[in-house]
A and B are shown apart, each in its own frame.
Chain A
Amino acid sequence: MSEQAPFTIEQFYKHISQGKLMGGKCKKCGKIHLPPRPLCDKCFSKEFEWTQIQPKGKLVTYTIIHVAPPQFQQMTPYAVGIIQLENDLKIPGMIKEVAPEQIKIGMELTIAFETSTTTSQWPQWPRYYFKPA
């Protein structure tokens, strides 16, 4: 049914809860948007199709967070980074299951999916994270 689903951030996270990384491909110009958008920023088309993105990539940059907002403070220190996926796409997220000193730019990471959310408030988005391939 995902072909009919709206090309929104909400739907992106619904796909995450199903263990899938899905982008929106513009039917007119072919640009892939991750996260999906309802309006193509290249050609202004509103016609898209879902395309599954391989949940793996190379780390392009990272940091180790020591001071965090209240909801993350208990997890400190934790690593976050940006990975380069296929089709020139990038996505940020936490890096887990690896010691901070082992993290290196260029390392291969895969995306792991958390399928449920623990909060009853908005937003009820599940999280994904990166781990060594």
Chain B
Amino acid sequence: MKGKPLVSIVSAGLSKFGKLEGLYAREIFAEAAKEAFDRCPNLDPKRDIKMLFVGHMGESYEHQGHTGATVADWAGLLHIPATRTETACASSGAALRAGVFAVLSGLCDVVMVGGVEKMTHRTTSEVTEFLAMASDFPFEQWHGITFPGLYALMATAHMHKYGTTEEQLAMVAVKNHHNGFLNPKAHMQKEVTLEKALSSRVIAWPLKLYDCSLITDGGSCIIITKPEIAKKYTDMPIQIIGSGQASDSIGMYERESLTSLIAAKIAARQAYEMAELRPEHVDIAEVHDCFTIAEIIGYEDLGFCKQGEGGRLVESGETKLDGKLPVNTSGGLKSKGHPVGATGTAQAYEIYLQLTEQAEKRQVKDAKIGLAHNVGGSGATATVHIFRKE
């Protein structure tokens, strides 16, 4: 498969991200599906789409499990096989990979993959509890370690080992808020100053409010096909040429490193090898910035800089919208928002927009290779996908 397209993306959809009051997850997913159908008039959803994989993390939010069948029905795709994938915040990264496998199996020519989460109707304390379920219960949750707490443990270790600063963490937030300011679908479309980010209230020291991604409602989807039939549906298909996924200990305390995510490194290596590309070939990337430290560690795990240099990379400005390697042009989880189950395919949606030159005010010129890095929990799952303009 080296360097060859695994599948092609022929369409993509994203709901508005934000506080979607009065809407239920299935209704939000339908909004994303509708956009994907409208973008691709040559596709007859009922006739052509043969399977659906949907990422969804928690049934606690709406007291609703069995998400596959539920959202397939509300998207007008009743009776197709529909399966939920759950790998915490990487749930739709895993849905995308499952969809790639379904197409490669030869059994399905056209597959929809996506994700959805409805979170904002719950209190912050409840959401904190639900998110923590993605971490180890008997040793992490049981001892009061929250989800921001786990990333804070990594941040403290990274600062101690490499001299990464709270200012560098805040620079990730400032950068991503600038990009989100330009994205009409972002949850928080506003600029944030370094001073404001640094003086925001502490959530889990050294992480402050502006180091944390948003509690957001949203849905996302993309439609993938066999590469050889993609042109039947669109003039601008985007190829997926690399796909990697790996796992790690659920308990962070069992891992050798507290300053990098081995699962992300393995997934990245698989994806680069499959694509026959190196990190320096990547033009744009969506990096899983659930917390600012996660983007810095992501740079290192993806090979965008050396181990320990992530803080200095953001400081250099190279990952800004006008830099050498723009990261999180969508605003990232930080500003666009992080409806956990929807995040993986929302990243793929942004790469699709950029590579098809539909990203409007935040369009990066001449981008040909994109990468999406989606992390589950504190790093027990990671998926990496590499995309290429035809």
**A residues at B contact (CB < 8 Å):** 9, 13, 35, 60-70, 72-73, 75, 77-78, 80-82, 90-94, 100, 105, 123, 125, 127, 129
Contact = CB atoms under 8 A, between A and B. Distances in A.
Nearest to A9: B138
Nearest to B127: A69
B253 A67 contact: no
Contact of B146 (A62, A65, A82, A93): A65
Given A61-B258, A90-B253, A91-B139, A105 B144 contact: no
A75 B252 CA distance: 23
B143 A94 contact: yes
Interface in B91-147: 124-126, 128-129, 132, 138-146
A77 B146 CA distance: 12
Contacts of A61: 153-154, 156-157, 160, 258
Contacts of B148: 65, 67
B377 to A, nearest CB: 14
Nearest to A88: B256
Interface in B142-192: 142-146, 148-149, 152-157, 160
B205 interface: yes
Contacts of A91: 139, 253
A90 B157 CA distance: 14
A127 B143 contact: yes
Which of A65, A78, A94 counts the most B-chain CB atoms under 10 A from its CB?
A65
Interface of B: 124-126, 128-129, 132, 138-146, 148-149, 152-157, 160, 201-207, 251-254, 258
Contact of A127 (B142, B153, B205, B252): B142
A67 B215 CA distance: 14
Given A67-B148, A69-B129, A80 B143 contact: yes
Given A63-B205, A90-B254, A35 B139 contact: yes
Contacts of B207: 63
6 contacts: A60-B157, A61-B156, A73-B125, A77-B202, A80-B143, A80-B153
Contacts of B160: 61, 105
Which of B128, B129, B141, B144 counts the most A-chain CB atoms under 10 A from its CB?
B144
Which of B124, B145, B160 counts the most A-chain CB atoms under 10 A from its CB?
B145
Contacts of A13: 138
A90 B254 CA distance: 7
Given A61-B157, A92-B251, 11 more contacts: A35-B138, A61-B160, A62-B153, A63-B205, A66-B202, A67-B203, A78-B144, A82-B153, A92-B145, A92-B253, A129-B143
A81 B128 contact: no
A81 B153 contact: yes
B140 A92 contact: yes
A127 B160 CA distance: 28
A123 B203 CA distance: 27
Q: Give the 7 A-B CB pairs with smallest separation, nearest first.
A: A63-B152, A69-B129, A61-B157, A64-B205, A72-B144, A90-B253, A92-B253
A65 to B, nearest CB: 5
Contacts of B201: 66
A92 B298 CA distance: 24
A91 B125 CA distance: 25
Given A63-B204, A67-B203, A75 B157 contact: no
A65 B157 contact: no
A123 B143 CA distance: 13
B154 to A, nearest CB: 7
Given A65-B204, A70-B125, A92 B143 contact: yes
Contacts of A77: 202
Contacts of B128: 67-69
A66 B204 contact: yes
A90 B139 CA distance: 11
Contacts of B254: 90
A65 B153 contact: no
Nearest to A13: B138
B156 A105 contact: yes
Contacts of B206: 63
A77 to B, nearest CB: 8
A90 B155 CA distance: 18
Contacts of B124: 67
Contact of B149 (A80, A123, A127): A80
Contacts of B251: 92
Contacts of B138: 9, 13, 35, 123, 125
A65 B212 CA distance: 13
Contact of B204 (A64, A92, A93): A64
Contacts of A60: 157, 258
Contact of A63 (B126, B156, B253): B156
